[in-house]
Amino acid sequence: QKGDSPLVTKTFVPTKEDYQKVYDEVARLLVEKDDYDDGSYGPVLVRLAWHSSGTYDKETGTGGSNGATMRFAPEAEHGANAGLKVARDFLEPVKAKFPWISYGDLWTLAGACAIQEAGGPAIPWRPGRQDQDVSACTPDGRLPDAAKDQRHVRDIFYRMGFSDQEIVALLGAHALGRAHPDRSGFDGPWDFSPTVFTNEFFKLLLGEKWVHRKWSGPDQFTDNSSKSLMMLPTDMSLIKDKEFKKYVELYAKDNDTFFKDFSDAFVKLLELGVPFTNKPEDRFVFKTSE
């Protein structure tokens, strides 16, 4: 049959420009909806991107950001994911505007956007995640437990295929955001500028005296000078462990190296288990808003 058949619908193949439009919309909403927490949904978007990716298990190839399975009750209700509905709901109007993007691509793109918009490094990103159904939900217990020590941190991140240096670089993201008593039980921000991406996490970890907070909540640490910042037991493990600590020292001194290593490790995190048909060279570097 020749000519335009009404039976043939063209499949929409999004280009880099289309994904940049999604980026721009997330960035616009971050500015518009500034009446939340410390003035930005950015940190909780980063946490959503990471928790959707951090279920990956390299032995079985299961988990990771591919299926966006946190949309379903079993995974949404895992204790570690408490509070992330806020981030998923924030992105719903973006999904409505760009219905062709998969949730997995949207959540990870939004995480990359939140880091760039917070002044962090470029997070090169590529599409390819396909939404899956509830049967692809991962079992509870794949995400880390902040009450534990370095052995647990290594168990969790080695399972995803990360090295000690990559683990420390990633943890620098705790410069962003805060803990909420009604979500994790922990309380407070890691630094004084929780909406700006910097290497402050490492500087404070080394520069402050951290003491056990005296309170009725779970064991966490507070800085002895202002008593308004916090560290989780897993954060403290980075200076208790000699192998980890040398990278903390490196990143506290050298912000450029931190930005580079963080970007590499975060890109790797967001891509775990994704069946890409494109190549690493095809990653997009989104333009950050003015």
Q: Spot the catalytic one: 50, 51, 78, 107.
A: 51
CA atoms within 13 A on the CB side of 93: 9
To ligand HIF, the closest distance from the beta carbon of 81 in angstroms equals: 10
Please count the other Cβ atoms lying within 10 Å of the Cβ belonging to residue 206: 15
- Please report, as residue ranges, which positions from 82 to 121 form the binding site for ligand HIF (by CB under 6 A): 83
How far apart (Å, rounded) are the C-alpha atoms in residues 69 and 137? 5
Three-state DSSP state, 32: helix
Tell me: does residue 47 bind ligand HIF (CB under 6 A): yes
Tell me: does residue 153 bind ligand HIF (CB under 6 A): yes
Return the number of the residue (71 or 174) whose C-beta is nearest ligand HIF.
Answer: 174
Q: Spot the catalytic one: 50, 107, 125, 190.
A: 190
Only segment of 9-17, 45-53, 89-97, 277-285 that touches ligand HIF (CB under 6 A): 45-53
Only segment of 28-36, 40-48, 60-68, 211-219 that touches ligand HIF (CB under 6 A): 40-48
To ligand HIF, the closest distance from the beta carbon of 233 in angstroms equals: 8
Three-state DSSP state, 203: helix
Return the number of the residue (96 or 223) whose C-beta is nearest ligand HIF.
Answer: 223
Backbone phi and psi for residue 196, each to the nearest 5 degrees, phi listed first = -120, 130
Tell me: does residue 48 bind ligand HIF (CB under 6 A): no
How far apart (Å, rounded) are the C-alpha atoms in residues 226 and 201? 15
What residues form DSSP beta bridges with 179? 188
Question: Is 212 considered catalytic here?
Answer: no
CA distances 68 to 15, 100, 143, 194, Å, are 22, 15, 15, 26
- Please report, as residue ranges, which positions from 55 to 84 form the binding site for ligand HIF (by CB under 6 A): 83
Q: Residue with CB nearest ligand HIF?
A: 177
State which amino acid sits at residue 18. D
Residues marked active site are found at 51, 190
